């Protein structure tokens, strides 16, 4: 388990660099946090630091975005906010992505928690009263 504090936006880059060390070789990263907690912002910075060459944006309406890195690797970015039942994840073919050995970054993972593999890294983002983000992982 780890905890990273992001006191202000200009500290995001350092915090994500530390987060990437904790991710290591994990391939499925499930993000939890209230609306506006910073899930998409952190994912955008992860992609920047991993040299994604595509535009990174929230896949709220598409459910999944595929990004390409400068080294030829792929990253899959999921946003399950809009799904109402697990069948929608099945229809998306989530297994192909989750078991592709590519990095999968999942927003609103609580909507599909029964489908997450055992080795999923859970990232929780909480905002304190003074706007500090606390990122914990297990």
Kindly write down the DSSP assignment for every residue of 38-69, as one continuous string. Answer: SHHHHHHHHHHHTTB-SPP---TTTSEEEEEB
φ and ψ of 48, to 5 deg: -60, -45
Angle between helices 12-23 and 39-49 (to 10 degrees): 80
pLDDT at 60: 75
Average pLDDT of span 94-104:
95
pLDDT band at residue 59 using 50, 70 and 90 as cut-offs:
confident
pLDDT band at residue 66 using 50, 70 and 90 as cut-offs:
very high
pLDDT band at residue 61 using 50, 70 and 90 as cut-offs:
confident
Q: What is the dihedral sign for C-alpha 123, 135, 56, 68?
A: negative
Contact 26, 138 (CB under 8 A): no
Burial of 98 (0-12, 13-18, 19+ CB in 10 A): buried
Q: Which CATH superfamily is domain 2-137 in?
A: P-loop containing nucleotide triphosphate hydrolases (3.40.50.300)
Domain boundaries, the chain: 2-137
pLDDT at 109: 96
Q: Which three-class secondary structure state does DSSP give residue 19?
A: helix
Residues linked to residue 79 through DSSP beta bridges, in sequence order: 107
pTM: 0.94
Average pLDDT of span 49-73:
92
Chain mean pLDDT for the chain: 94
């Amino acid at each position: 388990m780890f905890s990273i504090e992001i006191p202000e936006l200009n500290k995001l880059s350092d915090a994500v660099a530390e987060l990437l060390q904790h991710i290591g070789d994990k391939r499925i990263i499930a993000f939890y946090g209230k609306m506006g907690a910073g899930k998409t912002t952190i994912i955008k910075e992860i992609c920047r630091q991993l040299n994604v060459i595509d535009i990174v944006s929230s896949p709220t309406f598409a459910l999944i975005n595929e990004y390409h890195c400068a080294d030829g690797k792929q990253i899959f970015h999921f946003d399950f906010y809009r799904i109402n039942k697990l069948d929608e994840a099945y229809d998306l073919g989530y297994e192909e992505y989750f078991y592709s050995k590519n990095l999968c970054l999942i927003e609103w993972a609580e909507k599909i928690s029964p489908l997450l593999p055992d080795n999923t890294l859970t990232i929780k983002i909480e905002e304190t009263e003074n706007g500090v983000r606390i990122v914990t992982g297990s």
